[in-house]
């Protein structure tokens, strides 16, 4: 499943050239109980997990896999990983959240660079936080301030404690453009709390503020239930959103990510070996990625433009599976 997520990075141009670090938590206490979320596993499960980690090291390289000696849980595992990041920005992805459409990540970074005091962390559109472009209920994408957005769905779910959507561009406060081909501003929605989803963040902000001294993490805890709750309480009491600087990019109403079911996930080849009806998701993503590359090469697609449509689902029979780890 991790390999499927890594393969989906191809939807973010330039990301393949960036350093990669996969963090593996410790297996937990070996005993007769099977309660992984509490840190209790049998010797058999611990051995299987160790073999899985070794497989990742063989596939990705030992220097790309950080193995924690003890079970720490999500929050402390992220903290251990961020402490090793040397780049000014870090993209954090969960092991079960893959990208399913293009994101102009390089432009997002340029906008963050030009608005460092306000825009410190950017999350992406997820299945439960989509929006609509007014006058285009069937889809389409946001073309900046000129396209009114309906944010009812995301605001109904997360609230409006942090205020309304804002436009940020690639221009600094002094009016100087960050990039020769700077485009019109993009729309970002201020998040009222932290969510454990794929996001890009200033490394210093992550290390010194999100995971700073005031964020007390215990083994097994999530950032969402510690820092996230403190943030929400602060905003509810009238605090400023600016120190947090956490936004969601509203670049396209279609979800940018897809959550994989970790309990039911099996590689395509293993599904075939068991005689299961194989999902065609990965094949459809591969076809869509190829169509996007062809459109981009032909000059008929640019960031912010509508994507090629999803390939149709098979009408009958066994769905075709892809042997690639997409």
Please return the burial class of 134, using the count of CB atoms within 10 Å of its CB with bins 0-12, 13-18 and 19+. exposed
pLDDT for 254-277, tens place per residue?
A: 889 988 766 555 666 776 777 766
What average pLDDT does the segment 34-48 reach? Answer: 81
Q: What is the side-by-side order of every strand in the sheet holding 89-92?
A: 89-92, 199-202, 121-123, 246-249, 186-190, 166-168
**β-strand pairing of 40-41 with 29-30:** parallel
Chain segment 116-133, per-residue pLDDT in tens? 999 999 999 888 776 766
Whether 64 is in a domain gets the answer no
Check whether residue 243 and residue 140 sit in a common domain.
yes
One domain, residues 246 and 299? no
What is the per-residue pLDDT for 95? Answer: 87
Which secondary-structure segment (H or E) carries 286?
helix 281-297
For 120, the domain range is: 2-15+86-264
Return the structure tokens found at 216.
């007390």
How buried is residue 22: exposed, middle or buried, by Cβ count under 10 Å (0-12/13-18/19+)? buried
Q: Look at residue 36 and tell me if it is in a domain.
A: no
Q: Over the stretch 271-313, which tens digit does the pLDDT of each residue have?
A: 677 776 656 666 666 676 677 667 666 655 455 555 555 444 3
Q: Please check the confidence at residue 81 and state whether its pLDDT lies above 90.
A: yes
Same-domain pairing of 143 and 235: yes
Cβ atoms of residues 88 and 245 within 8 Å:
no
Residues 280 and 195 in one domain: no
Same domain, 239 and 270: no
Burial of 86 (0-12, 13-18, 19+ CB in 10 A): exposed
What is the pLDDT averaged over residues 158-173?
80
Query: Are residues 182 and 236 located together in one domain of the fold?
Result: yes
Is 316 within a domain? yes
Residue 252: what pLDDT?
87
Percent of the chain with pLDDT strictly greater than 70 = 70
DSSP string, 51-113: HHHHHHHHHH-GGGEEE-SS---HHHHHHHHHTT--SSEEEE--TTEEE-S---HHHHHHHHH
- Provide the domain count of the chain: 2
Q: Are residues 298 and 188 in the same domain?
A: no
Say if 185 falls within a structural domain.
yes
What pLDDT, in 10s, does the model give residues 315-324?
322 222 222 2
């Amino acid at each position: 499943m991790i390999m499927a997520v890594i393969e989906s990075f191809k939807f973010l141009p330039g990301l393949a050239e960036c350093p990669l670090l996969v963090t593996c938590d410790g297996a937990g206490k070996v005993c007769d109980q099977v309660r992984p979320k509490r840190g209790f596993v049998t010797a058999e499960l611990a051995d299987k997990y160790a073999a899985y980690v070794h497989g990742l090291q063989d596939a990705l390289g030992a220097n790309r896999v950080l193995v924690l000696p003890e079970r720490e849980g999500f929050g402390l595992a992220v903290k251990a990983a961020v402490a090793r990041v040397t780049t000014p920005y870090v993209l954090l992805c969960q092991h079960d959240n893959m990208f399913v459409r293009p994101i102009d990540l390089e432009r997002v970074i340029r906008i963050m660079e030009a608005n460092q005091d306000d825009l410190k962390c950017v999350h992406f559109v997820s299945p439960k936080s989509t929006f609509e472009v007014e006058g285009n209920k069937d889809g389409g994408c946001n073309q900046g301030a000129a396209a009114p957005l309906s944010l009812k769905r995301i605001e109904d779910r997360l609230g409006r404690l942090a205020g309304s959507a804002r436009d940020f561009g690639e221009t600094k406060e002094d009016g100087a453009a960050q990039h020769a081909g700077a485009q019109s501003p993009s729309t970002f929605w201020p998040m009222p709390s932290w969510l454990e989803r794929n996001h890009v963040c200033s490394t210093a902000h992550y290390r010194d503020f999100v995971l700073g001294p005031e964020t007390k993490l215990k083994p097994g805890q999530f950032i969402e239930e510690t820092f996230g709750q403190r943030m929400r309480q602060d905003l509810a009491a009238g605090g400023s959103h600016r120190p947090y600087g956490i936004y969601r990019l509203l670049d396209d109403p279609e979800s940018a990510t897809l959550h994989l079911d970790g309990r039911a996930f099996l590689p395509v080849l293993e599904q075939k070996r068991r005689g299961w009806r194989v999902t065609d998701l990965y094949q459809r993503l591969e076809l869509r990625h190829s169509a996007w590359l062809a459109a981009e090469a032909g000059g008929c697609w640019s960031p912010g433009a509508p994507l090629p449509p999803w390939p149709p689902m098979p009408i009958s029979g066994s769905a075709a599976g892809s042997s690639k780890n997409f």
